Chain A
Amino acid sequence: MTVYILRRLVFLVLSLFLASAILFVLLRLLPGDPANALLSVGATTEQVEAARASIGSDQPAIEQFVTWLGQMATLNLGTSFISGLPVGPEIATRLAVTVPLTLISFAVAVVVAVPVGFLAAYRANRWYGAALSAVSQLGIAVPIFWVGVLLISGFALNLRLLPAGGFPQGDWANPAAALRSLTLPVITIAFVMASSLVRYVRSATLDVLGSDYLRTARSLGASFTSAMWHHGVRNASVPVVAILGIELATTFLGAVVVESVFALPGLGSMLLVAIAQHDYPNIQGILLISTFVVLIIGFLADLISRLIDPRLRAVGSTKRAVRAPRAVVSR
């Protein structure tokens, strides 16, 4: 297990380096010069040159890349082209919105989806089992911003129960106000996320319910609850955990839409502005942090799957077991 973790960590660092190189090249392929965003109509040629020199966009790309790598090695994400302010602290304050938003939405989605998904499977033949399935299908079908707009219209504009958007100026200094601001965004994300989770939980549960081992356990005298708890949950959770990892990562990356609808000062809204302004240091910083978060989530999901399922651990240590069978037809 230790070897496995170490191997994964090395892989993580390599992935980050590769991602940063790809990011850097892709951004430089975009047409246009970020210095333009600093200027307005009326700017002189000298001012354009001065702006390019000040942000270093007049340097060869390879030199800019080396400079950036050097900064990253010292955990410095650089300085924004546009504002001239350091990128790292700005990302940190934005994460104080995006991370709670993602995690709370995720927690709510899981807490709702697991029992609902189970019920939808366990009572698939009853009317409410079918109804739950139908609602989750609806949740998958609707675009997330539309859910946000509907919630704003209902709870903010008409009922005046919750704010339509924004985040308290003091961040989490007043936790109640911060939670109030996050309530509608969390419901928005959780509804959409839970909808797809319900589908997975339902199908995983259906598999387990129809399995031989559960029937065997029952025939040996175990109650349904006990059989489900000792055998069913563990088996059903393996595919669900893998999906949870992907869902969590998608939510973190997809927060950009919800943050825009609810005017939340999170990482996503920062990214939108940075892209519009060609603010390479900001874009690079945000995407690098996002890549890191996604890799970490994937790593944790894998680790948890291994803890749940001993078969995966066996696969990891004995490579032979997963070697593909020889081709039947070979020339």
Chain B
Amino acid sequence: MNTRSSALVALALTAVLALTSCSSEATTANETGANATINIGSVYEPQNLDNTGGGGQGVTEALNGNVYEGLFRLTDTGKIENLLATDYQVSDDGLTYTFTLREGVKFHSGAPLTSADVKYSIEKVTAEDSQSARKSNFSVVSAVDASDPTSLVVTLSSKSISFIYNLSYIWIMNAAATDRKTTEDGTGPYSLDTWKRGSTLSLNRVADYWGTKAANGRVVFHYFTDATALNNALLTNQVDVVTSEQSPDSLAQFDNTEAYTINDGQSTTKLLLAFNDRVAPFDNVLVRKAVTSAIDNKKLLSSIWGDYGTLTGSMVPPTDPWYEDLTAVTPYDPALAARELTEAGYANGFAFTLDTPNYDPHPVVAEFIKGELAKVNIDVTINVITADEWYTKVYQGHDFSATLQEHVNDRDVVFYGNPDFYWGYDNPAVTTLIEEAEQSDTAAEQTAKLKAANEQIVSDAASDWLYLYPQIVVASTTITGYPLNGLNSQFYAYDIVKSN
């Protein structure tokens, strides 16, 4: 090698060394304790920062409870506690709620919280152009009175036991704020630092927060479109925690090592084989029961999620107060399925098309179901469609026999009370029970009514609730205090502590 090429090689090596030795932003954040930066990895990037303007699941994860707060907080275990409201009174007829607002609360801009801001925030969700998924829950609100700045009076058109619970979803925003899609003005323990779209969103601790200050100085959400890239980031300490693992396959690399903790939390996401209960053959209860009994949900769950996930036998996850294990009502029993099919007049089976969303896990699940049902002479044609087609064809057009779909919300068994919902389940007794439950005076009464409704729905085999997803948070063992459950996609970061 001559001198010139030696010099070139030396130069190249120096450049590589310089690149590899200078520290990147992620690795400088090694500080621990009260000023630590917590790096959070997620696949749910917000579309924008407005949860009533199409922000999506990501904006809830990043900002709910961290930057914005409601009158009430839904805790990680599903409890409701006072947050910006310190107290509330309900009139005897159950129609008028008077909320006392917490004193001394300021928005990040410095403006004080008043009842006008709360009124504004509620009306933003109920507004005509609201894209909030919760909008229909607030159709009972008939008037909001903010004449006293320290308290708020809300009048309902009919009683609503879920009203307080539903209020935990409404972010209280400064009514004077202008750009809610890219900036924020909330009251939470963090304020938005920067949002670099497609990459990161960072929050800084608010020094003069009204309550207990955040246990860390800064939080950075790192967004990934590729699950492998996300897990690599955790393996290389670029992130400290992954909010929700998308498949069990990647967990092996975090198992059996001191460096990571795999947390098996509660989710509210159910995978449904939803029948179109309006049309033959699924308008027949016996056929729905037979199909449900012909599919081995346990085997399905373990083939998709290994040891994770839960069988519930109904739409109700264990975090809903009216949960009970109903897996025994329509057990896995192919012989029973065959008898029910004969009784229903389908001794030789039948054929149907299963509309299957094209993203995981639906196509694999469809193949499994096809295999199971073939054993009882039911011939399944799998029709793979996009999410978008699903909304148009199935959700809006009701043009389907059966479909697969994941339902993410908690407390959504009430959808079975709506005969116009896409699955077309129409049992007047159930509709009445669900309406009455909402009108209940006590939580106990509501729970009893919804339990009764759910039992009826399950005995009608309205759908086949295949399984409840797991919620798997994987974290470095250097951090503690992160939320474990995926309720409403929220991820409170203020208790997370980083140590050595």
Query: Which A residues are closer than 8 A to B by beta carbons?
Result: 31-34, 36-45, 47-48, 50-51, 54, 82-85, 90, 93-94, 149, 152, 156-157, 160-171, 174, 176-177, 179-181, 183, 260-263, 265-266, 269-270, 272-273, 278
Complex alpha-carbon distance, A47 and B405, angstroms: 21
B299 within 8 A of A: no
- Interface locus among B20-28, B287-295, B472-480: B20-28
- Interface locus among B111-119, B151-159, B192-200: B192-200
Q: Which of A38, A162, A263 has the most CB of B within 10 A?
A: A263
Contact across chains for A170 and B25 when beta carbons are under 8 A apart: yes
Closest to A165 in B: B229
Complex alpha-carbon distance, A41 and B194, angstroms: 31
B255 within 8 A of A: no
A residues less than 8 Å from B25 (CB atoms):
168-170, 174, 177
Complex alpha-carbon distance, A88 and B228, angstroms: 30
B202 within 8 A of A: yes
Contact across chains for B200 and A31 when beta carbons are under 8 A apart: no
Chain B 235-260 interface residues, beta-carbon cutoff 8 Å to A: 235-236, 238
Contact across chains for B388 and A31 when beta carbons are under 8 A apart: yes
A residues less than 8 Å from B208 (CB atoms):
none
Contact across chains for B395 and A179 when beta carbons are under 8 A apart: no
Contact across chains for B396 and A45 when beta carbons are under 8 A apart: yes
Q: Which of B220, B392, B412 has the most CB of A within 10 A?
A: B392
Closest to B415 in A: A42
A residues less than 8 Å from B47 (CB atoms):
82-83
Instruction: Give the 5 A-B CB pairs with smallest separation, nearest first.
Output: A32-B388, A265-B198, A36-B391, A265-B199, A164-B232
Contact across chains for A51 and B131 when beta carbons are under 8 A apart: yes
Of the residues A45, A54, A82, A163, contact of B129 by C-beta under 8 Å: A54
B19 within 8 A of A: yes
Complex alpha-carbon distance, A276 and B26, angstroms: 29
B54 within 8 A of A: yes
Contact across chains for B198 and A269 when beta carbons are under 8 A apart: yes
A residues less than 8 Å from B24 (CB atoms):
163, 168, 177, 180-181
Shortest distance in angstroms between A200's beta carbon and chain B's nearest beta carbon?
24
List 15 A-B residue pairs with CB atoms under 8 Å apart, sorted by A's residue number: A48-B396, A50-B128, A54-B129, A82-B54, A85-B182, A152-B232, A156-B232, A163-B238, A165-B224, A169-B194, A176-B19, A177-B25, A263-B224, A263-B233, A265-B199
Shortest distance in angstroms between A173's beta carbon and chain B's nearest beta carbon?
9
A residues less than 8 Å from B395 (CB atoms):
41
B162 within 8 A of A: no
B375 within 8 A of A: no
Complex alpha-carbon distance, A215 and B78, angstroms: 85
Complex alpha-carbon distance, A86 and B409, angstroms: 30
Shortest distance in angstroms between B203's beta carbon and chain A's nearest beta carbon?
12
B387 within 8 A of A: yes
A residues less than 8 Å from B199 (CB atoms):
166-167, 169, 263, 265
Complex alpha-carbon distance, A220 and B395, angstroms: 82
Shortest distance in angstroms between B492's beta carbon and chain A's nearest beta carbon?
22
Shortest distance in angstroms between B398's beta carbon and chain A's nearest beta carbon?
12
Contact across chains for B232 and A165 when beta carbons are under 8 A apart: yes
Complex alpha-carbon distance, A270 and B225, angstroms: 10
Contact across chains for B48 and A83 when beta carbons are under 8 A apart: yes
B residues less than 8 Å from A174 (CB atoms):
25
Shortest distance in angstroms between B419's beta carbon and chain A's nearest beta carbon?
14
Closest to B197 in A: A90
Chain B 112-145 interface residues, beta-carbon cutoff 8 Å to A: 128-131, 133-136
Complex alpha-carbon distance, A81 and B146, angstroms: 34
Closest to B24 in A: A177
Contact across chains for A164 and B233 when beta carbons are under 8 A apart: yes
B residues less than 8 Å from A43 (CB atoms):
133
Shortest distance in angstroms between A151's beta carbon and chain B's nearest beta carbon?
11
Shortest distance in angstroms between A270's beta carbon and chain B's nearest beta carbon?
6
Shortest distance in angstroms between B199's beta carbon and chain A's nearest beta carbon?
4
Complex alpha-carbon distance, A50 and B130, angstroms: 8
Closest to B18 in A: A176
B94 within 8 A of A: no
A residues less than 8 Å from B79 (CB atoms):
none
Contact across chains for B53 and A84 when beta carbons are under 8 A apart: yes
B residues less than 8 Å from A167 (CB atoms):
199
Closest to B46 in A: A83
Contact across chains for A163 and B135 when beta carbons are under 8 A apart: no
Closest to A171 in B: B196
Complex alpha-carbon distance, A166 and B386, angstroms: 29
Contact across chains for A84 and B396 when beta carbons are under 8 A apart: no
Shortest distance in angstroms between B436's beta carbon and chain A's nearest beta carbon?
21
Contact across chains for A260 and B129 when beta carbons are under 8 A apart: no
Complex alpha-carbon distance, A260 and B18, angstroms: 26
B360 within 8 A of A: no
Contact with A along B196-218 (1 / 0, CB 8 A): 11111010000000000000000
B92 within 8 A of A: no
Other A-B contacts than A169-B196, A261-B229, A265-B196, 14 sampled, CB-CB below 8 A, are A44-B136, A84-B48, A84-B54, A163-B238, A166-B238, A168-B24, A169-B25, A174-B25, A177-B24, A179-B19, A180-B19, A261-B226, A263-B229, A265-B199
Contact across chains for B226 and A83 when beta carbons are under 8 A apart: no
A residues less than 8 Å from B232 (CB atoms):
152, 156-157, 164-165
B residues less than 8 Å from A84 (CB atoms):
48, 50, 53-54, 181
Contact across chains for A94 and B198 when beta carbons are under 8 A apart: yes
Complex alpha-carbon distance, A47 and B389, angstroms: 17
B residues less than 8 Å from A48 (CB atoms):
396
Q: Which of B134, B199, B396 has the most CB of A within 10 A?
A: B199
Complex alpha-carbon distance, A169 and B136, angstroms: 38
Chain B 175-201 interface residues, beta-carbon cutoff 8 Å to A: 181-182, 194, 196-200
Assuming the A-B contacts A31-B389, A54-B129, are A157 and B225 also in contact, with contact meaning beta carbons closer than 8 angstroms in the complex? no
Closest to A174 in B: B25
B451 within 8 A of A: no
A residues less than 8 Å from B298 (CB atoms):
none
Shortest distance in angstroms between B316's beta carbon and chain A's nearest beta carbon?
16
Shortest distance in angstroms between A261's beta carbon and chain B's nearest beta carbon?
7
Shortest distance in angstroms between B11's beta carbon and chain A's nearest beta carbon?
13
A residues less than 8 Å from B53 (CB atoms):
84
B residues less than 8 Å from A149 (CB atoms):
228
Assuming the A-B contacts A163-B26, A263-B229, are A36 and B198 also in contact, with contact meaning beta carbons closer than 8 angstroms in the complex? no
Contact across chains for B22 and A169 when beta carbons are under 8 A apart: no
Contact across chains for A50 and B196 when beta carbons are under 8 A apart: no
Complex alpha-carbon distance, A156 and B228, angstroms: 13
Shortest distance in angstroms between A206's beta carbon and chain B's nearest beta carbon?
24
B residues less than 8 Å from A170 (CB atoms):
25
A residues less than 8 Å from B224 (CB atoms):
165, 263
B residues less than 8 Å from A36 (CB atoms):
387-388, 391-392
Contact across chains for A262 and B388 when beta carbons are under 8 A apart: no
